[in-house]
């Protein structure tokens, strides 16, 4: 047997990590400013994280959602106040794509409608309806294509208003990232998010805030949509809430009622996943990591804008896109193999992404800035 070859890989194997440093099989250290696609939120092998998982594994690794699971309740009690939505309901699953699938399914149940509005440039996952709402024909198979998903341009309020005027009574959900990640760190304006909220209220549509990448405190607020002063009906989460352990979740407004059997999963909310997420929530609360993300992000973006040969710097907090005047792939490769720093790509060929752990320090930022300055000058 061999692996199904779908990933273009760098010729490096990471075998160890601590904080924001990882090491390869030869012992070379690297500064991790990508966190495996915004997954690492509290740093690699954080002591609290290791302790929580080790303790839970020593007692019980798994039992299904047919019985009470105490660690789920612990997680709910911690996530409510941390997210600022203590009155919301939590459904646990296994990934970001699965979270978006369940959010859209729930919106359709709630409204009795079929249509979904998504943004051009969006990425919501690679499965079924999540990939149908993703603006990338290269990963959408014929079986995934549907006329029930309509794409509009991010931040174009007039286009959105016109669509609702024509079809508002048929629209189950609007799904959008507060900041498009894979799409190249494209920020939804406050005015646009407020317009989405107003139209959803007017037409009885469910506002789904895809916070898989731009949530969990990464932007300097728990959800990036919070910057606009609006609340979504459903928030989807994954990546950073588990710090590398597979977990997804949707946070659901109290006016959306549950019913036995409407959603379900075998592994979602298992003991180990909840232990991981609980450790993340504890560390984020105790170490004020949302505040640190905002502070370090402000510093980085100010300094990045001073660098030569940079066309634009976009983002909020520690979700940052740097657009060069040329394709970024050769630059990213040099940064990795010459300066030993991981950063990320995007669908915009000229833009690379910074998505580090939320507890990075000024020292980490200055090392990155020195290397960028060296290679860009």
Does residue 18 belong to any structural domain of this protein?
Answer: no
Sheet (strand 319-324) strand order: 310-316, 319-324, 351-354
CA angle 225, 258, 193 (to 5 degrees): 15
Integer CA distances (angstroms), 265 to 57, 70, 244, 247, in order: 21, 17, 20, 12
CA nearest 49: which of 248, 287, 244?
A: 244
Q: How many domains does the chain have?
A: 2
Residues 275 and 309 in one domain: no
Is 328 contained in some domain?
A: no
Query: Helix-strand-coil percent breakdown of the chain, rounded to 5?
Result: 40, 20, 40
Whether residue 104 is contained in a domain is answered as yes
pLDDT band at 173 (very low <50, low <70, confident <90, very high): very high
Cα–Cα distance, 354 to 238 (Å, whole number): 18
Q: Are 248 and 99 in contact (CB under 8 A)?
A: yes
309 and 189 in a common domain: no
Please compute Rg for the chain using Cα positions. Answer: 20
pLDDT tens-digit map of 137-154? 999 999 999 999 999 999
Tell me: do 79 and 189 sit in the same domain.
yes
- Residue 80 within a domain: yes
pLDDT band at 136 (very low <50, low <70, confident <90, very high): very high
Contact 258, 54 (CB under 8 A): no
pLDDT in tens, 274-299: 999 999 999 999 999 999 999 999 99
163-185 mean pLDDT: 98
Of 54, 17, 358, nearest to 219 by C-alpha is 358
In a domain, 17, yes or no: no
Q: How far apart are CA 242 and CA 217, in angstroms?
A: 13
Q: How distant, in Å, are the alpha carbons of 11, 21, 48, 144 from that of 43?
A: 23, 8, 11, 36
Is position 40 within any domain? no
Looking at the structure, tell me whether residues 309 and 261 fall in a common domain: no
- Beta pairing, strands 29-32 & 89-93: unpaired
pLDDT tens-digit map of 302-358: 999 999 999 999 999 999 999 999 999 999 999 999 999 999 999 999 999 999 999
On whether both 340 and 207 belong to a single domain, the answer is: no
pLDDT in the model for residue 146? 95
User: Residues 213, 216, 219, CA angle at the centre, nearest 5°?
Assistant: 75
Query: Three-class SS of residue 354?
Result: strand
> Above pLDDT 70, what percent of the chain?
100
260 located within any domain: yes
C-alpha–C-alpha distance, residues 64 and 147, integer Å: 36
- Cβ burial of 58 (10 Å; 0-12, 13-18, 19+) is exposed
Query: Which residue(s) pair with 179 in the sheet?
Result: 187
In whole angstroms, give the CA distance from residue 160 to residue 51: 48
In whole angstroms, give the CA distance from residue 341 to residue 367: 9
Helix axes 47-59, 271-286, angle to 10 degrees: 150
Residues 255 and 309 placed together within one structural domain of the fold? no
Kindly give the residue spans of alpha helices, DSSP state H, lying in 152-224: 157-167, 190-203
SS3 214: coil
- Burial class of residue 363, CB neighbours in 10 A (0-12, 13-18, 19+): exposed
pLDDT tens track for 57-91:
999 999 999 999 999 999 999 999 999 999 999 99
Say yes or no: 257 and 372 in one domain: no
Q: List, in sequence order, the alpha helices (H) in the chain.
A: 35-38, 47-59, 70-83, 96-111, 128-132, 157-167, 190-203, 271-286, 289-304, 329-337, 362-376
pLDDT at position 316: 98
Q: How many CA atoms lie within 13 A of 338 on its CB side?
A: 11
Query: Can you give the CATH number for the domain in which 73 is found?
Result: 3.40.640.10
For residue 107, is it within any domain? yes
What is the residue-averaged pLDDT of the chain? 98
Same domain, yes or no: 224 and 268: yes
Q: Are residues 377 and 250 in the same domain?
A: no
Residues 161, 198 share a domain: yes
106 and 208 inside one domain: yes
Q: Tell me which residue range forms the domain holding 244.
A: 56-286
**Both 182 and 263 in a single domain?**
yes
């Amino acid at each position: 047997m061999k692996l199904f070859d779908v990933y273009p890989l760098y010729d490096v194997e990471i075998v160890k990590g601590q904080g924001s440093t990882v090491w390869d099989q030869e012992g070379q250290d690297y500064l991790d400013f990508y966190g495996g696609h915004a997954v690492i939120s509290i740093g690699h092998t954080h002591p609290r994280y290791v302790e929580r998982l080790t303790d839970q594994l020593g007692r019980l690794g798994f039992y299904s959602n047919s019985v009470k699971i105490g660690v789920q309740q612990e997680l709910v009690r911690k996530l409510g106040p941390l997210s600022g939505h203590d009155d919301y309901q939590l459904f646990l699953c296994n990934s970001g794509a699965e979270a978006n699938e369940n959010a859209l399914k729930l919106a359709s149940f709630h409204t009795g409608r079929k249509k979904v509005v998504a943004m051009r440039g969006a990425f919501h996952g690679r499965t079924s309806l999540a990939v149908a709402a993703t603006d990338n024909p290269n990963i959408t198979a014929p079986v995934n294509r549907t006329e029930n998903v309509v794409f509009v341009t991010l931040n174009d309020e007039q286009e959105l208003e016109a669509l609702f005027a024509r079809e508002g009574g048929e629209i189950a959900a609007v799904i959008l990232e507060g900041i498009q990640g894979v799409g190249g760190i494209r920020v939804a304006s406050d005015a646009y998010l407020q317009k989405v909220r107003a139209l959803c209220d007017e037409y009885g549509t469910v506002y789904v805030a895809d916070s898989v990448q731009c949530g969990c405190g990464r932007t300097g607020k728990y959800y990036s949509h919070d910057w606009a002063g609006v609340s979504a009906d459903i928030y989807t989460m994954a990546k950073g809430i588990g710090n590398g352990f597979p977990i997804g979740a949707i946070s659901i407004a109290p006016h959306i009622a549950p019913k036995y059997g409407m959603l379900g999963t075998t592994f979602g909310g298992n003991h180990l996943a909840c232990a991981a997420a609980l450790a993340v929530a504890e560390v984020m609360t105790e170490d004020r990591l949302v505040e640190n993300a905002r502070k370090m992000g402000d510093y980085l973006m100010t300094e990045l804008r001073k660098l030569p040969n940079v066309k634009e710097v976009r983002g909020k907090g520690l979700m940052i896109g740097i657009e060069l005047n040329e394709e970024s792939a050769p630059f990213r490769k040099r940064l990795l193999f010459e300066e030993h720093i991981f950063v990320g790509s995007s669908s915009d060929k000229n833009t690379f992404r910074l998505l580090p752990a939320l507890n990075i320090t000024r020292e980490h930022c200055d090392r990155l800035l020195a290397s960028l300055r060296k290679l860009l000058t």
